Copies of this chain bind each other. A is one copy, B any other.
Amino acid sequence: MISQNCLHDALSYGKCFTGLGRPADYIPELARVNKHQLGVCIVSLDGEILKEGAYDRPFTIQSISKLVSLILALHDRGGEYLFQDKVGVEPTGDPFNSIIKLETRTRPFNPFINAGAITVASCIEGKDTEERFGRFLTYIRHLCNNDEIYLNENVYLSEKSTGDRNRALAYYLKASGILEGDVEECLDFYFRMCSVDVTALDIANLSAVLANHGTNPFTGENLIEPSCAKALRALMLTCGMYDGSGRFAMKVGFPAKSGVGGGIAAVVVDRMGIGVYGPALDEKGNSIGGIKILEYLAKKLDCSLF
């Protein structure tokens, strides 16, 4: 399907661009990483795993966790309710942490901007944050085939203590009747889910499940409803790369979700899941080297949807 050489070349190509970006700097834990790190991992649906570079380097999952929380919320509430009453499914031209449209439109535009993801987080069931986060952790371990996925306590505490912009979004949503339950509990869950440590390998496994219509390609266990996996792939394509999703669709052309920790989860349906890690970000908040690797692979493997 794809040779180790090809993956090696993809990584080398990506490395040419890491100097042009910079790591997220809103918390010291993210700011002090080596921005030239780059890793990639491919999990094909026939069980082959290919890896290159810093594929096993842990990083915080950040916004990629929004995939997992959305699946949980869709399971708990159903798409009918969630996408009608709580959050839209439309891309927005605004940055991921923008608050402006909440004043004019009430409902967040989609589940991948922060306002939408916080809303979704408030819809996950559980008697308290502990229980909700426990469900999240159990679930993501299944999706990533890795029982060793844990919270990065330092990042979590940093996120929590500096997360005032997200707090503003959450209280605004509460005031508008969108966010359910207690705001600080919801935010506590949100900051935790963003602060889980993963590797490119973990992310590739998660993506492979999405590529395989929700079924773990190794165990055959169904982890996501096929229709839900399909909805997620569509959302990832239109909204997954923040306000750079349009360009990514044109240049790469398959569903992906990025996080400011430097990860990108990418899905080649019926073929493979790809995980990349590169903490140097472009001005939209997407991994600059990661995008270049995916561009390279999309061309070599001819796997753009377009």
Given the known inter-chain contacts A88-B246, A90-B244, A94-B93, please indicate yes or no for A175 contacting B165, CB distance below 8 A. Answer: yes
Given the known inter-chain contacts A164-B175, A174-B164, A183-B164, please indicate yes or no for A306 contacting B237, CB distance below 8 A. Answer: yes
**Given A91-B238, A93-B101, A230-B304, 5 further pairs, Cβ under 8 A:** A91-B93, A93-B93, A234-B249, A237-B238, A237-B306
Evaluate contact between A234 and B306: CB separation under 8 angstroms.
Answer: yes
Q: Of A41-49, A102-110, A145-153, A216-224, which binds chain B?
A: A102-110
Q: In the complex, which residues 69-126 of chain A have their Cβ closer than 8 Å to any Cβ of chain B?
A: 88-94, 98-105, 109-110
Tell me, in angstroms, the Cα distance from A247 to B104 when the chains sit together. 20
Evaluate contact between B246 and A89: CB separation under 8 angstroms.
Answer: yes
The proximity string for A residues 127-153 relative to B, scoring 1 for CB distances below 8 Å and 0 otherwise, is 000000000000000000000000000
Main secondary structure of the interface of A (DSSP, over half): helix
Evaluate contact between B250 and A235: CB separation under 8 angstroms.
Answer: yes
Tell me, in angstroms, the Cα distance from A201 to B249 when the chains sit together. 28
Partner of A104, one of B104, B169, B237: B104
A231 at the interface (CB under 8 A from B): yes
Q: Which residues of B contact A238 (CB under 8 A)?
A: 91, 237-238, 245-246, 249
Evaluate contact between B230 and A306: CB separation under 8 angstroms.
Answer: yes
Q: Which residues of B contact A262 (CB under 8 A)?
A: none
A171, A230, A244, most chain B CB atoms within 10 A: A171
30 CB < 8 A contacts A-B: A88-B246, A88-B247, A89-B250, A90-B91, A90-B246, A91-B92, A91-B238, A91-B246, A92-B93, A93-B105, A98-B103, A99-B100, A99-B103, A99-B172, A100-B103, A165-B175, A167-B168, A167-B171, A168-B171, A168-B174, A231-B250, A234-B306, A235-B250, A237-B237, A237-B238, A237-B249, A238-B245, A238-B246, A238-B249, A305-B305
Q: Which residues of B contact A104 (CB under 8 A)?
A: 100, 104
Q: Which residues of B contact A165 (CB under 8 A)?
A: 171-172, 175
Residue of B nearest to A235 (CB): B250
Q: Which residues of B contact A245 (CB under 8 A)?
A: 90-91, 238
What is the total number of residues of chain A having a CB less than 8 Å from a CB of chain B?
A: 49
A233 at the interface (CB under 8 A from B): yes
Q: Which residues of B contact A237 (CB under 8 A)?
A: 237-238, 249, 305-306
Q: In the complex, which residues 245-266 of chain A have their Cβ closer than 8 Å to any Cβ of chain B?
A: 245-247, 249-250, 253, 255
The smallest C-beta distance from A202 to any residue of chain B, in angstroms, reads: 23
Tell me, in angstroms, the Cα distance from A305 to B238 when the chains sit together. 12
- Please give me the 5 A-B residue pairs with the lowest Cβ-Cβ distance, nearest first: A92-B93, A168-B172, A164-B175, A90-B246, A91-B91
